[in-house]
Amino acid sequence: EESGATVRLGRRVLSVGVAPAQTEAAHEYVLRTAPTSCGEECEGSEVEEQGFDFVVLACPRGGGVELQWDGPAAAAQRARLKKSYAEVHTTLVWGVLEPAHFGVSETAAELNNLTDILVGSAGAAERPFNSIGRYGGPRDDGACLWKFFSSQPLTDELLAPMFRSFEGSSVIRHSWTSPGAYPLSRPVQRYPKPGDAFHSFVLHEHNSGAVLFPAALEAATSAMEVMAVSARNAALLAVQRWKLHT
């Protein structure tokens, strides 16, 4: 309420394009939106157009928004929004680990003193997870709350060999699959220079407006805290540009 922002729920953005030159009061960009219940082919009265001076694509891959402008950077920018993401599954389990399964001689109580168990052979049949971390406990019965990260869902059948005992009824699972938890990082032949279209924070500039893509920072590192800083920078950049042209 204090910001005076208008929140529109139940709609998705189809495209963002440069607004046609009309009057001095015209906005720089046009957004086309449709109800979220609408399928891939939305048309007619269901599609609305609104004008904006600044657009921030504040979601992975730009939320599937079509970029409607041309130029030498356009193709690379569209490719940037189609970057592949890693599928990650999180599983929280109360239980007592089975030391023999992990090839160690410690007792179950001694395993509870560990804070993290990082696994090099992630995805192997005997260890179908990327890492384990102790998230809580131990309780009076010796059980701890363990958090698993894996590239596949951890069913009760996959969990059973790793525990002497665990509470199957209280297992919590969450899957990061749409589009994923973080972008897949692959080797590049050179470090991107500032302004490279493929990693650009500013996707497009037009007169006094701009289309910003804070998630471009994920090309270097991906974390919730990093994205918070990136979002703040997007807001500061928009304010700075707006003040320069008012």
Beta strands 66-68; 85-86: pairing state = unpaired
Task: Note the pLDDT of residue 123.
Answer: 52
Which pLDDT value is given to residue 196?
53
**Residue 70 contacts by C-beta under 8 Å, 6 or more apart in sequence?**
none
Q: What is the pLDDT of residue 17?
A: 86
- Report the distance separating Cα 41 and Cα 9, nearest Å: 20
Is the pLDDT at 131 greater than 90? The verdict is: no
Q: What is the pLDDT of residue 160?
A: 94
Distance CA 83, CA 214 (A): 14
Give the pLDDT band (50/70/90) at residue 229.
very high
- Taking the C-alpha atoms of residue 111 and residue 114, their distance in angstroms, rounded to an integer, is 6
For residue 239, pLDDT beyond 70? yes
Q: Average pLDDT of 70-99?
A: 77
Q: pTM here?
A: 0.65
The pLDDT of residue 106: 74
Q: Which residues of 31-46 are buried (b: 16+ CB within 10 A; e: fewer)?
A: bbbbeeeeeeeeeeee
Instruction: Taking residues 116-122, report their average pLDDT.
Output: 63
